[in-house]
Amino acid sequence: MSALAPSRGLAAGVATLAFPGLLLAHTNSTLVYDCAAGLAHPLHGWDHLLALLAVGLWAAQQQGAARGWLPAAFVGGTAVGVALGAAGGALPGLEPALGTSVLVLGVLIAFAVRPTLAPGLGLVALVAVGHGLAHGAEAPAASGLTGYAAGLLLATAALHAAGYIAGLAAARRSALLPRALGAACAVAGCGLLLT
């Protein structure tokens, strides 16, 4: 087995999630719509968009394994939350909690907090379950949950990657720039709580 085999498998998996219609024998299927709905959903709310970018930005501030595990914990927590939300598990006060998560993530970035791995993963997973609950509860009624969730999780990972890349690029320009982005995220979180 060559060293490229795992990366080829990962690339095939990402392509399958991004373009599920390529695998279908019939072109008139809702799977493509379901996945596209999931891909677009995180872009429809500032709370989700900012939280996903912030997790990537915060991961870029970390060292070692935390850089990869924080986004992975968020994706996993989101999957759990989507399943719970789609099953009707809604929490009262979820929207303010989502705004609070943006505020908290922004503060963590602004102060360049580097927790040990377990507390960082726990916090990120908890935030992710909340966001996943909202995503699952807001799943389009006509949508198949599997395709929707696949698109949603792919978009989540992509936004984490964008935040991570932005965080690394910002840190190369100035050590204070990522912190400033975190402060802006915290202010946006306050704004979300006020609306």
* Domain residue ranges of the chain, discontinuous segments joined by +: 30-194
Query: Does residue 91 surpass a pLDDT of 80?
Result: no
Which of 98-102, 112-116, 117-121, 142-146 bottoms out in mean pLDDT, i.e. has the lowest? 142-146
Q: pLDDT exceeding 90 applies to what percent of the chain?
A: 64
11 versus 64: the higher-pLDDT residue is: 64
Which of 13-27, 33-47, 141-155 bottoms out in mean pLDDT, i.e. has the lowest? 13-27
d(C-alpha 86, C-alpha 62), whole Å: 33
